[in-house]
Each structure stands twice: as structure tokens, then as C-alpha cells.
């Protein structure tokens, strides 16, 4: 029975790709936020007035 379960599991490469498909865009998003936070010119920064 355990062999039937193990045979249905995705390969290690598939699991790694799924994990990377979440973390890579997340880190790109966070890096982009930091770049805009420190790199936007003063006239482009939104004020909460």
C-alpha cells in the first residue's frame, strides 16, 4: 500500500519547481517595493494628506 502512495507523489524536481514558483515572484515583488521606497523621486511619492 505504501508503494502506491509513493508512486503517486510528484518527483523532487516538481516539488522544487512548485516551491520556486512561489518564492521567486514573492522576492522580486519585495525587492521592487524596496527599490521604489528608496529610489522614487520626491514628486512621485504619494502623500497621505
The pLDDT value recorded for residue 16 is 96
Distances in Å between the Cα of 47 and the Cα atoms of 17, 37, 42 are 40, 13, 10
pLDDT at 49 over 70: no
The pLDDT value recorded for residue 48 is 61
Residues 6+ apart with CB under 8 A from 10: 18
**Could you read off the pLDDT of 9-41 as tens digits, one per residue?**
889 999 999 999 999 999 999 999 999 888 888
The pLDDT value recorded for residue 24 is 98
Write out the residue range of the structural domain in which residue 16 sits. Answer: 11-44
Tell me if 49 is assigned to some domain: no
Tell me if 1 is assigned to some domain: no
Tell me if 33 is assigned to some domain: yes
The CA dihedral of 9, 14, 15, 20, to the nearest 10 degrees, is -170
Tell me if 3 is assigned to some domain: no
The pLDDT value recorded for residue 43 is 82
The pLDDT value recorded for residue 23 is 97
The CA dihedral of 21, 38, 36, 25, to the nearest 10 degrees, is 0
Number of structural domains in the chain: 1
Amino acid at each position: 500500500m505504501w508503494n502506491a502512495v509513493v508512486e503517486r507523489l510528484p518527483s523532487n524536481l516538481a516539488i522544487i519547481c512548485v516551491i520556486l514558483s512561489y518564492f521567486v515572484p514573492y522576492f522580486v515583488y519585495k525587492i521592487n517595493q524596496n527599490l521604489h521606497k528608496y529610489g522614487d523621486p520626491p514628486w512621485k511619492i504619494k502623500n497621505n494628506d
